Amino acid sequence: MTVTTSRRTVLRLAGVAAGAGVVAAAVRPGLAAAATDVFQHGLASGDPLPGGILLWTRVTPTPACTPASGAGPAVGVDWQVATDASFATVVRSGVFATGPERDHTVKVDVTGLAPATTYWYRFGLAGAWSPTGRTRTAPAEDADLTRLRAGVVSCANWEGGYFAAYRHLAERADLDVVVHLGDYYYEYASGDFTAAGTVVRKAEPANETLSLADYRTRHAQYKTDPDLQALHAAVPWVITWDDHEVANDMWSGGAENHDPATEGSFAARVAASRQAYAEWMPVRLAADGHIYRRLRYGKLFELSMLDLRSYRSEQADGDDVDDPDRTITGAAQLNWLVDGLVNSTAAWKIVGNPVMISRLDVGAIPAWLLGPLGKLIGVPENGLVLNGDQWDGYNADRVRLVDALLSHRTKDVLFITGDIHTSWANELTTSATGLLDPAAAEFVVPSVTSDNINDFLGTAPGGPLSRLAASLIKVTNPHVKWFEGDGHGYGVLEVTPSRCRMDWYHLADRTSRTSGVRWVQGYSVGRGSAKIRRESPPSA
């Protein structure tokens, strides 16, 4: 089911379609007529189903209708879905009403499509067609698939560089979907989180995002990036949020980067960010606003996308990480996740996981290896915590999840993870599994642009300090089979009935829009075992 049409072919055909198209509605006086003026923020598709797809764009009907302005008229935006890039055979169409109350964004949940089918789509307003997007529906639930490939990304900081990683993914001809694991954008004020101290390009607004207008403006800026637009137009995305879509190290009642005394109500800030997110992102949200959801790709795999910010307890260190009353998922989401994993009939159970679930032990052997001695000297069950913002800080939830997998003999679970800006291949172990029989595998992708180890250290990539850090992590964490702390880029996940393989690609220079990219490593996990193995470079 792999799409074989090249990105360059799509762009060429899109130009033909845009030049030939005429919107059925008459041009209205005062409205912009050029596609580049009307559709400044690109278009996107997301959350593919066997019979449907979510389509998104944003229109600028008059020059005054800038994002977050609250200005401009209500308009009806035409949309079309076709089986060909020239739109000779339009199979679904309609008009979507939008206006300043939703920042002139458009989200159409198209139904009645055929499974496992490539479609082209576009939007029209005032005599202008948008660029053409390509998307693909999911296969039927009982379809037998031989292969699927997904681009996997996380952590794209505007001020930290250019989105060349998105460009390289958009130029591939073999992706069925892109999975974004959170930190699609960053909330910081300009200059607060840069490229190792350098602002590569200035964020808008210049202040930290707090209000609805702030979040709308930051969303809009990101969607002017040509490489982000190209990847959205080339392939459907499945996305979840992490903390920076609101504020750094967010938990259910606050965040490290929020001061109520000077920044007001945290609940109001969350509400503003979530409204802007719902308007600007090609994501299906439930009626109550929750984002965790599950998508199925035939018999091959189910993808469970998590929300690890909205329901979690406040971050803690020390013995508190073992507290059974603390949670990273919330009870309802954890029950949903466990039920979905243990009852799935798919060959693979893949979890879109915003923060790392595998242990990261530092400075001590975990208490479950030390035995009674560990309890006497007060070592937490998971060992000393380096990053309490990950699952390490919520050990009870991790134990509950792994225990459920073991008790139901559920195998073939793979976590794909972002957040930590670095590249990892891990085996998930706890006290119940021991070191030799992991419960699941985990592949962690690097940041698109956000700072990582060498950036924080102020050293060259691959330098002695970075190599020392990698060595120390592997010595104290035998379940970590590979770690690389300096590269920026993306992963490509290939799923077949017999294995899941992740290949990591790193950019030459995140501060260059034209940066090249190189393959750096590949790891796979086979059916029936969570043990991972190193792979040779891909042949194609």
Length of the chain in terms of residues written: 540
Report the Cα 88 to chain-centroid distance in Å. Answer: 34
Q: What is the pTM of this model?
A: 0.91
Residue 382: closest CA among 341, 332, 328, 337 = 328
How does pLDDT run across 167-224, given as a tens digit for each residue? 999 999 999 999 999 999 999 999 999 999 999 999 999 999 999 999 999 999 999 9
Q: What pairing do the DSSP bridges indicate for beta strands 128-129 and 118-125?
A: antiparallel
Percent of the chain predicted with pLDDT > 90: 80
CA–CA separation, 253 and 183 (whole Å): 19
Planar angle of CA 517, 519, 523, nearest 5 degrees: 145
Q: Could you state, in order of their start, the residue ranges of all structural domains in the chain?
A: 7-135, 148-183+215-243+271-534
What is the pLDDT averaged over residues 29-35?
50
Q: Are 41 and 58 in contact (CB under 8 A)?
A: yes
Grade residue 377 by pLDDT with cuts at 50, 70 and 90.
Answer: very low
* Helix 395-407 vs helix 331-343: crossing angle, to nearest 10: 20
Return the pLDDT at 465. 83
Domain 7-135, architecture per CATH: Sandwich (2.60)
How does pLDDT run across 410-434, given as a tens digit for each residue? 999 999 999 999 999 999 998 888 7
Return the pLDDT at 457. 82
Report the Cα 484 to chain-centroid distance in Å. Answer: 20
Q: Are 538 and 503 in contact (CB under 8 A)?
A: yes
- Per mean pLDDT, which range of 82-96, 260-274, 359-373, 460-474 is the poorest? 359-373
3-class DSSP state of 316: coil
As a CATH number, domain 148-183+215-243+271-534 is: 3.60.21.70
CA–CA separation, 530 and 524 (whole Å): 10
Report the Cα 320 to chain-centroid distance in Å. Answer: 29
Residue 440: closest CA among 474, 401, 470, 476 = 401
- Per mean pLDDT, which range of 27-31, 70-74, 444-448 is the poorest? 27-31
| Cα 26 to Cα 23, 77, 78, 86, 104, distances in angstroms | 7, 12, 12, 21, 19
Q: Are 43 and 121 in contact (CB under 8 A)?
A: yes
CA atoms within 13 A on the CB side of 377: 12
Return the pLDDT at 8. 31
Q: Are 129 and 121 in contact (CB under 8 A)?
A: no
How does pLDDT run across 327-359, given as a tens digit for each residue? 999 999 999 999 999 999 999 999 999 999 999
pLDDT at 7 over 50: no
Residue 56: closest CA among 8, 98, 5 = 98
Return the pLDDT at 89. 98
- What's the CA dihedral at 38, 130, 177, 48 to 10 degrees? 90
Q: Are 427 and 481 in contact (CB under 8 A)?
A: yes
Grade residue 2 by pLDDT with cuts at 50, 70 and 90.
Answer: very low
Number of helical H runs and strand E runs in the chain: 13, 22
